[in-house]
Amino acid sequence: MTDLATPPPALVPLRRNWRFQSYWLGTTVGAIGTSMSLLVYPLLALSLTGSPLQAGLLAATQSATAVLLGIPAGALADRFSRRNLLLSSEALRTLATAAVLVAVATGAASVAGLFAAAAVLGVSGAIGMPVRRLALRSIVPPEQLRQALSQDEVRVNIAMLAGPPLAGLLFAAGPVQPFVAVLACYVASMGSAFLTRLPATGQQPGPLKPSVLFKGATVGPRIVWRDAVLRAVTGLMTIENFIFAALNLILINHFQRQGVDARTIGLALSGEAIGYLTGAALVTRLHRRFRPGVLLLGVVWTSLLVTAALLLPASPISVFCLLFLISLGKPALYVLIDVIVFQQVDDAVRGRVISGSFTVLAVGGPLGSAAAGLLLGHLSHHTAIGLLCLVLVIPLCAATVSRKLRRADWPDQP
């Protein structure tokens, strides 16, 4: 009698993977809370001091702290229990928000306290970022990784779209209400994290010395630099983030000079978020159709050409359409980084590689905003956009002639 092989169990559709969906919902709610906090803290500082400088510095504190600690935090993700780190990250931001809420409700809020809370939120973000991205690996099977990562990119844009308007609406009703909402978001996210089971990293931490931590943290950036695709996608997307942040300020300034009202400007700039959400649905198809290097070059060349089209006379409608096109391919590139890290990099260093890549990407935005302020003080918006195109075209041409990048293939599943 011939033995029949038992067929492998059928994959549960991702929409019915309740472990993933509950985790995704919790992290989405938490991301909305973070998006709200980025506006609420500066608004509260402005109401307390009347100083735009203080509000601006406070707005930068959370992001700057997360960027500065991003790479060392990746080393922590490879060294310690990722579940404990995730819970620690959630607890830090929940406690910091609760403290600010109590201070605001009792009339004891101070600028120094807000700066301390913003710094704690930055530390929480640095610790949590690599762990949250790595958590997907243990929640979904390898065959559904791209789909899960694509849905995770949707989470980011939902938070970007929902957070600021909700924060502004609640702050208009009073300074306490938005902090209640942020705290509720963080409590929900912490509950989701508590229910998430993550495998051990397989490392024995031992005593942790700062010198060892920072020396180990450089492993991630070195791996990114040695891999042709990771190096190219990280470098080009950092430049793209720089250009896009500058472009937003340049377009806002241009429309304001033309007398366009704030609502119309906001609608024009929303093309970025709408394009990103639409592009998330295309990730799997694009990854299946193109090699990673070809996909990268195609998306960035399209972005460059569309940015150059902004040199022509632009209306709010045309700007919406152009920003939509620029953002359409970005989710595929962010997921590309994750896929390569998950399928090519050993688990023992994944936290450092993820942190190395995304910390570098995060630097582009603040630098672009600062550059736009300098450019607009001396140049017309057309000249500024032309210079931004030149910043991208030189490294893009260098990447395009790389045969190794163009012929790079997707890594096999481990």
| Alpha-carbon span 172 to 19, nearest angstrom | 37
DSSP string, 280-307: HTTHHHHHHHS-HHHHHHHHHHHHHHHH
Q: What is the pTM of this model?
A: 0.79
Q: What is the dihedral of CA 73, 74, 78, 84, to 10 degrees?
A: 40
Is 246 within a domain?
A: yes
CATH number assigned to the domain comprising residue 402: 1.20.1250.20
User: Does residue 224 share a domain with residue 194?
Assistant: no
User: Does residue 379 share a domain with residue 248?
Assistant: yes
Residue 98: phi, psi to the nearest 5? -60, -40
* The last residue of a domain, from among 189, 215, 241: 215
Give the residue ranges of the chain where pLDDT is below 50: 1-2, 202
What's residue 379's pLDDT?
80
What's residue 1's pLDDT?
47
User: Does residue 299 share a domain with residue 155?
Assistant: no
Q: If we measure between CA atoms, which residue out of 336, 322, 324 comes closest to residue 289?
A: 336
Length in residues, the chain: 414
* The last residue of a domain, from among 215, 240, 265: 215
User: Does residue 238 share a domain with residue 193?
Assistant: no
The domain of 142 spans 17-199+208-215
Task: Please report, as a single letter, which amino acid is at residue 285.
Answer: R
Encoding tokens for residue 206?
Answer: 């031992």
Read off the pLDDT of residues 148-195 as tens digits, 9 standing for 90 and up. 888 888 888 888 788 888 888 888 888 899 999 999 999 999 998 888
User: Does residue 254 share a domain with residue 185?
Assistant: no
Encoding tokens for residue 45?
Answer: 């500082």
Is 7 within a domain?
A: no
User: Does residue 230 share a domain with residue 172?
Assistant: no
| Alpha-carbon span 99 to 246, nearest angstrom | 35
User: Does residue 224 share a domain with residue 135?
Assistant: no
Is 10 within a domain?
A: no
Task: Please report, as a single letter, which amino acid is at residue 334.
Answer: Y
What's residue 210's pLDDT?
58
* The last residue of a domain, from among 215, 244, 269: 215
What's residue 346's pLDDT?
80
User: Does residue 348 share a domain with residue 227?
Assistant: yes
Q: If we measure between CA atoms, which residue out of 240, 224, 225 comes closest to residue 396?
A: 240
What's residue 116's pLDDT?
94
DSSP string, 329-383: THHHHHHHHHHHHHHHS-GGGHHHHHHHHHHHHHHHHHHHHHHHHHHHTTS-HHH
Is 293 within a domain?
A: yes
The total of structural domains in the chain comes to 2
What's residue 213's pLDDT?
57
- Cβ atoms of 222 and 369 closer than 8 Å: no
